[in-house]
Structures are given as C-alpha cells and as structure tokens.
Chains A and B, each alone.
Chain A
Amino acid sequence: ETGVTQTPRHLVMGMTNKKSLKCEQHLGHNAMYWYKQSAKKPLELMFVYSLEERVENNSVPSRFSPECPNSSHLFLHLHTLQPEDSALYLCASSQGTGTLETQYFGPGTRLLVL
C-alpha cells in the first residue's frame, strides 16, 4: 500500500450503532487529520494529531472520538450519530515540521447515518 488509505470506503449505520473509521499513512509523516466533507459545504477540519498527540479539536461533538495509537494510524470512533453526520470523512497526513506541509489525502469513507 502507498500513500494514505482509509477503510471502510462506504459505511451505513443506524443512530444507535458504534463503528470506527480507520486511516493509515505510508508516507512517514508525523501529523494526521480528520476532515468532514458535506454536500455543498467546504471541507471542515475536525481533528489534528501531531506526533500522536491531539493538537486541535474544532468544536466537534463528542459522538466523534479520534484515536491516534501511533504516527501511522488514525481512527475515528463513531457512536450515536445523527443523520446530519452523513458525509464523506477524509483523512490526511503531512510532514508537520517541513517547510512545505502539503497534506496528502486518503480516498475517504462515505458515511450514511439512517
């Protein structure tokens, strides 16, 4: 595998379910991100991890819980979601200490909450 991978690619869940999204980066980066992309809205930054520590939480509801066990893996744990949480969830990584901190994105997980 190369670049940034995400699983699953598609997920349908009920409002009472618990599920997790997984992201893995194979680029040797030390920063990872979760974004939400809703229809007709700009990408919204949700969480930022740098060197496995959460450095930013952009007022995201507690029903979204991130976890970064190491610099290559990032999870987003989901529980008791609402239909308005249906969106494309994108993971990205970057080399946080570099001068050109381009973020490399994964393919996303398309989430539908019923």
Chain B
Amino acid sequence: ELKVEQNPLFLSMQEGKNYTIYCNYSTTSDRLYWYRQDPGKSLESLFVLLSNGAVKQEGRLMASLDTKARLSTLHITAAVHDLSATYFCAVDKRASGSRLTFGEGTQLTVNP
C-alpha cells in the first residue's frame, strides 16, 4: 500500500524567512504533485514532477523530486502572508489514469 507522509504538519513562520516542507512516499512512483488549498476553497495544482531530479519553480515556491530517496521538497523563499494555506503532496503510481494518494497536508501560516 502506498503511503505518503508530509512534515511538518503545521508550520508557522515569519515573513521573509525560508523553509522547506518534506514529502516522503513508500513505493516507486511515476509522478508527484503539489497542491495548495486555501480555507474553504478547493485544491489548486502547483507543480507536477515527472522524473528524478526534476525541479520546478513558481514565484517563491520551488519543488524538487528525488525518486531514489522517494522524497519531494517544497521550498519557500522569503515567505509572504499570501502563502498561508495548506499544502498537499500527492503521489501517482499508475501509468495511465491518475490514482492519487495524498499526504496529510502541511498547514502553513505566515505571520507579518
């Protein structure tokens, strides 16, 4: 059974600081996703990582994938309040037709 673990589950940080969220998964996977969810809102796709060593960046967020270590990271640079949300990683082990297994989510609060 595929398991996906995120840490930390709760993260409170100050504006301007850097931090990393970790996502570990238990079996070989074809691809890994990062989603963002604002309170009361739906999930918004941030990144899709398809291969070992993949790195993607959007604004203050950068995601990377190490398939050998079964680890993905979401790095936050110079955090701003607008980044406050819950961040989920999800792993898809199927070659066709998404079957996502989600982590528990990391609730990020960026304080002024």
Interface residues of A (CB under 8 A from B): 4, 31, 33, 40-43, 45, 48, 50, 55-56, 90, 92, 94, 96-97, 100-108
Contacts and interface: CB of A to CB of B under 8 A. Distances in A.
Nearest to B105: A42
Given A31-B98, A97-B96, A42 B103 contact: yes
Contacts of A101: 92, 96-98
A35 to B, nearest CB: 8
Interface in B72-98: 88, 90, 92, 96-98
Interface residues of B, number: 23
Given A96-B97, A96-B98, 8 more contacts: A40-B104, A42-B105, A48-B97, A55-B97, A96-B96, A101-B97, A101-B98, A102-B33
A107 B97 contact: no
Contact of A105 (B42, B50, B92): B42
B95 to A, nearest CB: 10
Given A100-B48, A102-B48, A90 B42 contact: yes
Nearest to A51: B97
B103 A50 contact: no
Contact of B102 (A42, A102, A104): A42
B48 A41 contact: no
B42 A107 contact: yes
A90 B43 contact: yes
